[in-house]
Structure 1
Amino acid sequence: MGMPGDASTGLDPALTDADEVARRLGVDPDHGLSSAEAAARLAVHGPNELRSARRTPFWRRALAQVADPLILLLLAAVVVSVVAWLVEGAEGWPIDALVILGIIVLNAVLGLVQESRAERAVAALAVMTQARSSVLRDAELRTVASAELVPGDILVLAEGDQVGADARLIRATSLQVAEAALTGESSAVEKHPGTLGGAVPLGDRRDMVFKGTAVSRGTGRAVVTATGMATEMGAIATMLDRTEAESTPLQVEVGHLGRTLGRIVIVIAIVVMVTVALVQGVRTPAEFVTVLLLGVSLAVAAVPEGLPAILSLVLALGVQRMAKRNAVVKRLSSVETLGSASVICTDKTGTLTTNRMTIQRVVTASGAVDLGGVGYEPVGEATVLGRPLADGPLRVEAQIVLGAGSLANDAQLAEREGAWQIEGDPTEAAFLVAARKLAGTVDEAARYDRIGEVPFSSERKMMSTAHRHEGGALVVLSKGAPDVLLRHCTRIQVGTRVVALDAVRRAHALAEAEALSEEAFRTIAVAYRPAPELEGGEGRADAAGFGEASERDLVYAGVVGIIDPPRPEVRPAVAEARAAGIRVVMITGDHPATATRIARDLGIIGEEGIALPGARLDGMDEHQLRDAVRTVSVFARVAPEHKLRIVDALQAEGLVVAMTGDGVNDAPALKSADIGIAMGIAGTEVTKEAADMVLADDDFATIVHAVREGRSIFDDIRKFLRYLLYSNMGEVLTVFLGVVFAGALGFTAASADGLVLPLLATQILWINLVTDSGPALAMGVDPEVDDVMARPPRGLHDRAIDRGMWIGIGVTGLVIAVITLLTMDVFLPGGIIPGGTDTFDVARTAGFTTLVFAGLVTAFNARSATSSAFRGLFANRWLWGSVLLAVALQVAVVSLPPLQVAFGTAPLDAAHWAVCAGMASVVLWVEELRKLGMRAAARRRADGGAPRVRAA
């Protein structure tokens, strides 16, 4: 692969010195590209993206709309109808064939529109979840979209980052990169900037990092050599065939439901056709075609073939609503699981708290200094017992603590557009802010240059850096958990002196740290030591000799207390989650006392609740851990493997677990959880990649909002399933019962035709078009009717259509059929209700209209399984709009002569319309009574099953 930016040389960057690579790419590694140059190169090389799959042509998508077996059946019916028309002399127009063909076209157009909207919604989500990279631009560290990387950009890599492009390493400190996604190598690969001696396989190119891999440890800088399809990942992408997206579990279930209904209804259609043939006889080709069209139309109308498109659209629109609430769901399938969450396992820092880490206290051998101010603005007074901090031993010690903490630091603090912003870890940034509050500390720290680093890891709980003072002295600076750091210390700073760290002073230092933790402070200790052994030849510092072995014989400087106050909105969110049957579990690496205090303040545990430390988990087997997770809601001082064990134990208890995380070490637990939730601000790219959902604001309350939205989306899905099946079942039963009881209802005597059918094929297809399109879509975006957070979570494997819904579908379908047939009987002479005087065509038109109106009424019934249709009656303007449009279309079909011919209708007068509307309303009142009974039964169950007896 040639080197981008110098294609004429064809040099391999892995075999070329890093400085030479940078020179050929025209970039200064210490300053990076200018913004203007980066923009120019982006215009030349294009976005740093893999080529997307070729979009399906419009004609293929259009053909897919008619590839459904039921639509093909309709096309066959068109052919049969045309053949029958030709056989009978081809007089006039083949009305039935033309109407059916028109309905097929309308269905295809609706399907294409729905698919296009869903595609746009999913595309918008892809933009929201795009990866980001840290680069040097205009000599400043910036975070940009990885798609904007160009050859010559200087990547700044840190633990947890996803590598945004192929790049040649310039410098690296303990850098390890996970390359399994590219090479299949299971363990992380150590990287170094030294030039390779010859061509080696991809997995052995230790001086290169590649797009799509992840930094698992250490830091580094690299110059981008290839972007987009020119990367090694792009080379693999060109060899991949287009793969079909997997259906979500809900889509699989709905597809299964559609196929099952199709089989059932086809059987019913055959039974209806056979029944007509046996009872009434089929004497002419025209009658045969009529019966065939009736059966085909019945089959098509009864199966909600538009479900997949509506489902995708509803999920996509729902996910976009969630994104507006700062919850970006990466996979539509996750929405289904989100509504089932019964446990939310959450970190403390940045999720339950503000993520504005602030050092408020510095404790050293000579006392404690309090620092005012909060957040990242470096404004605040240093005081001792309420008085300004004076010069003396305490000030010297505090300056050493904050100065060393600022140097052993990978964060950056800068003022941009009047606001102070950080790059990096908020806890490390707190040192930079605090150092600026103590006059003179930053000036002194600026005189040191870093030459080496041993990065922080969750296992070690500390980090160290090596620095050279401008005067030539070398020093090791360390910071970390007090109990861990003190094990590496043998001396302590007292004023300007360094004395031995005896048992008494060690115990006192530990006690001071413990006291800070009990006040809900996060504690970080700081230590240092001169390091003359790092002196290399000719006065140069030997960074190669710096490592974990250098973390010895340290001088303990002191400990800081960092506070990250709880977010004000979290406590009510926790209360809402608990009311919804969702348990909140805090899993944090912080001190148990800190975790307990915050958990109590937020209502996660009561006053008697305590935190279980990670050390206790090490001694537990799987059964003991399962016992623990049933009652413990706060886990502190946990290691990465503990998080995974806790999630697995909760899942073993049959719970659906949502897990939050921000670091690389959280990724295994996030992948194991039913819903992995990454922090959008503090989260690493690896964590975001492993997660199902990303929080744009790192706020716990957003998770609860997302759960509510997920439940609401699932409710909407059940609503439109309920609605479609209500009306479709009504159509099936109307035709079936109308054929079976045609004589008793007076149909046979009133009809002059040889065949007596309660509905024509074209009328059935019209009902399917009018009721299954607009109202069904409107149901998919219906606001909450019932409080979805007032009930326990649904089981992960609960059916979208359960036994209760099937009963409701059967009852409502039967009611719709009965009132439709009785409406026809009202207007006919004879039958069950005598006195009618109209023709069969008028009666059938009235029944047809009643069936349409009843289907539209069920849209309001279907908004809730138990609540009255009058609750929030006008909340969904889309539903009202679609219903009114359907009514207008029905009036047109009945009243306009051309449509009367097409759909076999006859004009109705005011009395007819009034009866149709009144009979259709019966569906509403029957369902209201059924729901009233269900609510009364629920209240009795809530009262313990005892009936309410009035006292005598």
Structure 2
Amino acid sequence: MVDHQLDQSVSHTPQAQLSSDVDPSLADASDVAKALHVDPAVGLSTQEARRRKEQFGPNQLASAPPIPKWKKFLAQFRDPLVYLLLVATAISLVAWFIERANAQPGSSTEALPFDAIVIVMILIVNAVLGYIQEARAEQAVAALASMTAPQTSVLRDGKVMRIDTSDVVPGDILVLGEGDSVSADGRLIAAASLRIAEASLTGESVPVAKKPDMLDSAKALGDRTNMVFNGTSVTQGTGRAIVTGTGMDTQVGKIADMLSQTDDEQTPLQKEMAHVSKVLGIAVCIIAVVVLAALAFMEGFHGIDDIIESLLLAVSLAVAAVPEGLAAILTVVLALGVQRMAKHHAIVKKLSSVETLGSASVICSDKTGTLTRNEMTVERVVTPSGEVQLTGTGYAPEGRMIAVGAADGDLEVPADIRAEVYATLGAGALANDGELREGDKPGTWDIVGDPTEVSLIVAARKTKTDRRFENFQRVGEVPFTSERKRMSIVAKDNADSGKLTVFAKGAPDVLLGYCTRIAVGGAVRPITEGDRQEILHQVERLSNEAYRTLGEAYRPLDTASIAEVPGMVSNAAGEVMDIADQSDALERDMIWTGMVGIIDPPRTEVRDSVAEAHRAGIRTVMITGDHPLTAARIASDLGIIEQGGKALTGDQLDAMSQQEFDKATSEVSVYARVAPEHKLKIVDSLQRQGNIVAMTGDGVNDAPAVKTADIGVAMGITGTEVTKESAKMILADDNFSTIVAAVREGRGIFDNIRKFLRYLLSSNVGEVFTVFFGVVLAGFLGITQPGAAGVTVPLLATQLLWINLLTDAAPALAMGVDPQTEDVMNRKPRKLTDRVIDRSMWGDIVFIGVIMAAVTLIGMDMHLSGGLFTDRSVNAIGHDAQMVEARTMGFTILVFAQLFNALASRSARQSAFVGLFSNGWLWGAIALSVVLQLAVIYLPFLNTAFGTTPLSGGAWLECIGLAAIVLVASELRKLVLRTVERGKKSVK
């Protein structure tokens, strides 16, 4: 129904309008156009379209209103760990009030509750960082969404143009073609063999034939044959429609679930990280309870102060041990990685697909345009009397015909062969939906449509054939489909009383079956079995030379009306029914004229990419509709198969049982003459074998296979909107090498995720072990003096929180953009069942955590009396001052140990000194952390807040020396692991 808004769209103009309660399917198309104030031949003006968009809004389904920034900021505090910190703040305030209330006159009591103030400040800083990280992630995702925004062809200012679907407005003229998604509801004004899949709206599985005729009565949605609806897709033919409803005023808008009711689904990686955080949080809470029990058992609580201080330590320990910024960091790293991919022409639509990309084990690729240049060129024309070669390459219509094997200009092509060449190229240029246009720059040419079809137009212009057929005008079409493998048009000759002729092109072996005659030497005679065998022999020969072959044929109808063709069915009014359904009446008794050999040279960079994929354990599979010999030749040239390798055809696949099919797909890497259902079966078979499959596609018939694949890849240039919507990734340059580059980038991103996970978790485990063993071994280390009363902890709660803030954010983010290692494509694909944090990584995390805790506690011991390593006198400065110095040492050692750990965590096996300075962002993050730590130690007001004291030069040497042991220990562990791995390889 035309929405009531449309009556208001141009109410200032005194034109007739369609009543809001009238169904446009029951109105004449011209009346709908008048009501919407649009000329169907011109479309809206750009200015009017802009005005209507301002009035009616973008062509989008309604979504939840944007969340205010203040709510997003407050959401940073909605976390169980933050709640723990708030509890810690409350405990700290209670302790301060109790101390103030019980303080004796003249005693030294803190004027301000510094612990509580610091915790609140850290909470705010943490929230600001989280907010900034989320905002950046949202910006990155929004930029990605704009790259993948669907587009629609419309008629505006008398020109067909591509616009974002969201810019479509009521009154626009939609220009529909095969593979397009319908972007709005509309009333058809023209249609040619138009069929639209409406299963998403009506549940009807069979595509619906559409015509612009006005309906005689109100129909159900699925029977409104003169209407098109938002969310459906064109499976065949062409058409034009006036937009009658956009956004929420479409049929799909009326039944769509509001986006506000749909929660964003977490990626598998995010789910695993949530699981890790949960497990780690539970473990740390248990440790915190153990620490409290150990304090109570070993030292006892001598007052409310001891209880409060112990609770504060336990809570802060639980918070400090869990990397609460992990989710935000993960999102930012994924989003930045996806943006890097986009710069290299690989547009990944969902962040979650990055994980899958790095795991790809099979890439199923179409040949034309992906493995080859998609610069189709007709080089050979084979007719019944001979063969010629056409010079010139690409789409510039410059060249001539010469006899095969002759030097250019040495030998004229005989007249009878020339006539056959003209007939062959003429049929191919007429039975054609392509278009060749001169570009904006002189000497450049733009193509519209299929490159193979355009190559026939180019060949016709080279030989001036187009001039011989300029009097023919198309009046009907039987479209090409992958099942039919041929296309026919009906054209009338305006120079010959408007008589009709059928012109056809298609796969030679298919088209030959519809031919009963052959044109030889200017005469037409019945085709013989010998002729058929000779033609098939020529097809095989050209295919062996890597040419794609297309046969051409025609049939004079000797009538000026399609209705007069024998076998054609008309309706009661005498109008011919859709000729696409009556192809048998037209495509029979045809005359074979010849065939062309078309070559599409392989992309020079693809061979290297195939080899790189092979080194990475990724198998490349070619799936094409071309002849098997052509497919095998191109595949062998690219290194997909060995020289002399074979290709399986769709017919051969149909004859196999499922067991035989699975065996074939595990061994064969080239498939030719396949239909869309074969692509889907191949993907399913490879997935049953445990492969992670990437599948490329461009046509609407490729959409099911692309959607089923683990990584559906759509062509950005030649791909249809339906395929792009089904895909997880879009190639902006339609190049196979871009897929391999995207896999490489995906592996690098996943490696970086593992790097910062190793760093964050090992650093936090180090903090936990430091506090735990510091409490358990307090008496041995001199942290608790003999006979002392009360609780003495190794590090203060504020110090632990500062370490968590200082070392979690900047270094982890910097590691997320670490350059790829050289071996990223020299290992087998990761299985999706493999854990992100496996046993080996957990071993590394615990090992580094233990070392970190050991060096921290040793550094503290060296500055305490009664310790294991030193017995420093307490008389000079007193135990309290000595404890402050020791804590400052442990505090600083732990910070620097984590910074050294950032360098060590960049690889589980490779030395940290390989590419040590390749990541400038990491060194910047380390420098920032060092500066902030110096401020905490040397600024007096921060000394008070964090319980620190300035350190001497000798103390700094001790701090850096002990912290560096973390890096040394990591290097020794890596050396042992590399040695063991080399030993295993040598044994094999």
What TM-score results when the alignment is normalised by the length of structure 2? 0.93
Shift in Å at residue 89 of structure 1?
2.5
**1:357 and 2:386 matched:** no
Change (3 A) 1:889 1:724: same
Q: Does the 8 Å contact 2:474/2:489 carry over to 1?
A: yes
Query: For residues 50-91 of structure 1, what are the alpha-carbon distances to aligned partners after superposition, in whole Å with 9 as ceiling and x for unaligned?
Result: 334311222322222111111111111211221232233366
Tell me the equivalent position of 1:334: 353
Q: Does the 8 Å contact 1:534/1:545 carry over to 2?
A: no
Match among 468, 481, 485 for residue 492 of structure 2: 468
Distance 2:686 2:914 in 1: 38
Change (3 A) 1:479 1:30: farther
Letter in 2 for 1:616: Q
Letter in 1 for 2:74: L
Once the two structures are aligned, what percentage of the paired residues are identical? 56
Shift in Å at residue 142 of structure 1?
3.2
Shift in Å at residue 26 of structure 1?
4.2
1:63-212 equivalence runs, <5 A = 63-89=74-100, 92-212=111-231
Tell me the equivalent position of 1:319: 338
Tell me the equivalent position of 1:421: 446
Q: Does the 8 Å contact 2:302/2:789 carry over to 1?
A: no
Q: Does the 8 Å contact 1:392/1:495 carry over to 2?
A: no
**1:529 and 2:536 matched:** no
Q: Does the 8 Å contact 2:703/2:723 carry over to 1?
A: yes
Tell me the equivalent position of 1:51: 62
Q: Does the 8 Å contact 1:179/1:214 carry over to 2?
A: yes
User: What secondary structure sits across from 1:142 in the alignment?
Assistant: strand
Match among 504, 515, 519 for residue 541 of structure 2: 515
**1:405 and 2:428 matched:** yes
Shift in Å at residue 41 of structure 1?
4.4
1:334-733 equivalence runs, <5 A = 334-385=353-404, 386=406, 387-388=408-409, 390=413, 392-418=415-441, 419-439=444-464, 441-471=465-495, 472-532=498-558, 535=561, 544=577, 546=579, 547-549=582-584, 550-733=586-769
Q: Does the 8 Å contact 1:828/1:843 carry over to 2?
A: yes
Unaligned 5+ runs, structure 2: 9-16, 102-108, 875-881
**1:248 and 2:273 matched:** no
Letter in 1 for 2:685: A
Distance 1:685 1:543 in 2: 32
User: What secondary structure sits across from 2:217 in the alignment?
Assistant: coil
Distance 1:420 1:113 in 2: 47
Letter in 1 for 2:261: R
Q: Does the 8 Å contact 1:720/1:779 carry over to 2?
A: yes
Letter in 1 for 2:179: G
Shift in Å at residue 141 of structure 1?
3.8
Shift in Å at residue 516 of structure 1?
1.3
Change (3 A) 1:460 1:438: same
Distance 1:83 1:420 in 2: 79
User: What secondary structure sits across from 1:276 in the alignment?
Assistant: helix
Q: Does the 8 Å contact 2:543/2:549 carry over to 1?
A: yes
Change (3 A) 1:938 1:835: same
Shift in Å at residue 895 of structure 1?
1.0
Unaligned 5+ runs, structure 1: 946-952
Distance 2:834 2:146 in 1: 33
User: What secondary structure sits across from 1:168 in the alignment?
Assistant: strand
Shift in Å at residue 301 of structure 1?
0.7
Shift in Å at residue 186 of structure 1?
2.9
Distance 2:728 2:479 in 1: 28
Distance 1:807 1:897 in 2: 41
Shift in Å at residue 20 of structure 1?
3.0
Tell me the equivalent position of 1:13: 24
Tell which deviates more after alignment, 268-277 or 190-199.
Answer: 190-199
Query: For residues 852-890 of structure 1, what are the alpha-carbon distances to aligned partners after superposition, in whole Å with 9 as ceiling and x for unaligned?
Result: 000111001110000011111111111111111101111
**1:938 and 2:981 matched:** yes
Distance 1:581 1:75 in 2: 51
Change (3 A) 1:429 1:139: farther
Query: For residues 709-731 of structure 1, what are the alpha-carbon distances to aligned partners after superposition, in whole Å with 9 as ceiling and x for unaligned?
Result: 00001001101100001110000
Query: For residues 368-405 of structure 1, what are the alpha-carbon distances to aligned partners after superposition, in whole Å with 9 as ceiling and x for unaligned?
Result: 22112222221222222335555722222222222221
Change (3 A) 1:30 1:558: farther
Shift in Å at residue 891 of structure 1?
0.8
**1:842 and 2:842 matched:** no
Distance 1:492 1:5 in 2: 58
Letter in 2 for 1:289: I
Tell me the equivalent position of 1:893: 936
Q: Does the 8 Å contact 2:636/2:644 carry over to 1?
A: no
Letter in 2 for 1:603: G
Shift in Å at residue 635 of structure 1?
1.0
Letter in 1 for 2:164: A
Letter in 2 for 1:161: D
Distance 1:198 1:145 in 2: 35
Shift in Å at residue 825 of structure 1?
1.0
User: What secondary structure sits across from 1:88 in the alignment?
Assistant: helix
Distance 2:738 2:787 in 1: 63
Distance 1:864 1:97 in 2: 39
Tell which deviates more after alignment, 823-832 or 579-588.
Answer: 823-832
Q: Does the 8 Å contact 1:42/1:150 carry over to 2?
A: yes
Letter in 2 for 1:641: E
Tell me the equivalent position of 1:911: 954
Shift in Å at residue 32 of structure 1?
3.9
Change (3 A) 1:925 1:302: same
Shift in Å at residue 196 of structure 1?
1.3
Distance 2:30 2:479 in 1: 25
Shift in Å at residue 464 of structure 1?
1.1
Change (3 A) 1:846 1:751: farther
Shift in Å at residue 585 of structure 1?
0.8
Change (3 A) 1:935 1:927: same
Distance 1:239 1:863 in 2: 44
Tell which deviates more after alignment, 767-776 or 410-419.
Answer: 410-419
Change (3 A) 1:324 1:122: same
Shift in Å at residue 33 of structure 1?
4.2
Tell me the equivalent position of 1:950: none
Distance 1:545 1:856 in 2: 74
**1:875 and 2:918 matched:** yes
Q: Does the 8 Å contact 1:358/1:562 carry over to 2?
A: yes
Q: Does the 8 Å contact 2:62/2:258 carry over to 1?
A: no
User: What secondary structure sits across from 1:544 in the alignment?
Assistant: coil
What TM-score results when the alignment is normalised by the length of structure 1? 0.96
Distance 1:675 1:311 in 2: 21
Distance 1:751 1:734 in 2: 23
Change (3 A) 1:880 1:820: same
Distance 1:545 1:317 in 2: 51
User: What secondary structure sits across from 1:749 in the alignment?
Assistant: coil
Tell which deviates more after alignment, 164-173 or 569-578.
Answer: 164-173
Q: Does the 8 Å contact 1:404/1:445 carry over to 2?
A: no
